[in-house]
């Protein structure tokens, strides 16, 4: 049956049909929750959260676990302090921001930026109103998967902040959805915006000898069947769905922009690795 569907419906059309069906399903669940009086005003709805890759029945538990887990990373690996100035690129619908409201005090500052208007609007309404030092801004750029109506190009985007503004900049599952020129521009901007001695924490799908072998052996959950000289991707028609980059190439970019990677890289389970705890590979670097 799957082969018949693949032969009759082009790849990009299949992807967007699946997206539409999933959104309809979660909107139905939202309606049922509302009828049953089970909505949680402090959390986004499942249809709102779906675009960011999570929309299960226990949404609060997912938010709490993911947020608190990464706050530990931010403290232990990013050396986050309560009075730091923090930028999150790809703030989504507030998973990390909600957790950080318990860490940053009144002297601290958080800015979240994202390309999806609905997520920014939800965070402004539900987080900024209670925590004025948490601000959210829209990045109006095009992305085939997340922002098909966006106008600018990520490869040319300049963040609206002065040089050496932030103590910590982090991106969770952002460079896994961006093309090579876009990634390099963002990394250059991250290096510009970080204070000297500041840190960035970024997650990736990294290709090296071990992860390539695991992917080729079918040990991973992401097939990465579309291969180019610059990246591997899950979906030829919408490569932004999931993109993996060569680790050596990424290390070269960090060196190019004056970012020193703090080894070891914390590899994730995406490729089929055993004995690791997080999903994606975590790279921490310091601005020289």
pLDDT tens digit string along 261-272? 999 999 999 999
Question: What residues form DSSP beta bridges with 232?
Answer: 227, 244
Q: How far apart are CA 162 and CA 55, in angstroms?
A: 36
How much is the pLDDT for 256? 98
pLDDT tens digit string along 15-38? 556 556 666 666 676 667 777 776
How much is the pLDDT for 5? 39
DSSP string, 38-80: ---TTS--HHHHHTTT---S-HHHHHHHHHHHHHHHHHHTT--
- Judge whether residue 285 has pLDDT over 70: yes
Yes or no: say if 48 and 42 are a contact pair by the CB < 8 Å rule. no
């Amino acid at each position: 049956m799957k082969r018949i569907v693949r032969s009759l419906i082009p790849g990009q059309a299949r992807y967007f049909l699946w997206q539409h069906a999933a959104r309809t399903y979660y909107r139905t669940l939202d309606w049922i929750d509302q009828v049953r009086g089970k909505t949680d005003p402090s959390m986004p709805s499942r249809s709102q959260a779906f675009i960011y890759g999570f929309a299960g029945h226990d949404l609060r538990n997912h938010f709490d676990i993911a947020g608190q887990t990464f706050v530990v990373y931010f403290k232990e690996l990013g050396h986050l302090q309560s009075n730091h100035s923090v930028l999150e690129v790809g703030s989504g619908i507030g998973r990390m921001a909600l957790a950080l409201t318990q860490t940053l005090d009144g002297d601290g500052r958080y800015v979240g930026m994202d390309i999806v208007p609905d997520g920014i609007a939800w965070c402004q309404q539900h987080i900024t109103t209670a925590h004025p030092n948490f601000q959210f801004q829209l990045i109006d750029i095009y992305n085939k998967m997340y922002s098909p109506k966006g106008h600018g190009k990520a490869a040319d985007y300049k963040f609206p902040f002065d040089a050496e503004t932030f103590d910590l900049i982090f991106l969770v599952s952002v460079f896994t959805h961006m093309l090579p020129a876009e990634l390099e521009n963002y990394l250059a901007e991250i290096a510009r915006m970080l204070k000297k001695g500041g840190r960035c924490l970024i997650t990736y799908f990294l290709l090296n000898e071990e992860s390539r072998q695991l992917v080729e052996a079918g040990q991973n959950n992401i097939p990465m069947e579309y291969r180019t000289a610059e990246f591997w991707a899950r979906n030829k028609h919408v490569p932004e769905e999931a993109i993996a980059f060569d680790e050596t190439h990424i290390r070269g970019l960090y060196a190019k922009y004056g970012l020193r990677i703090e080894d070891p890289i914390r590899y994730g389970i995406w490729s089929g690795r055993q004995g690791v705890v997080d999903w994606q590979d975590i790279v921490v670097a310091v601005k020289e």
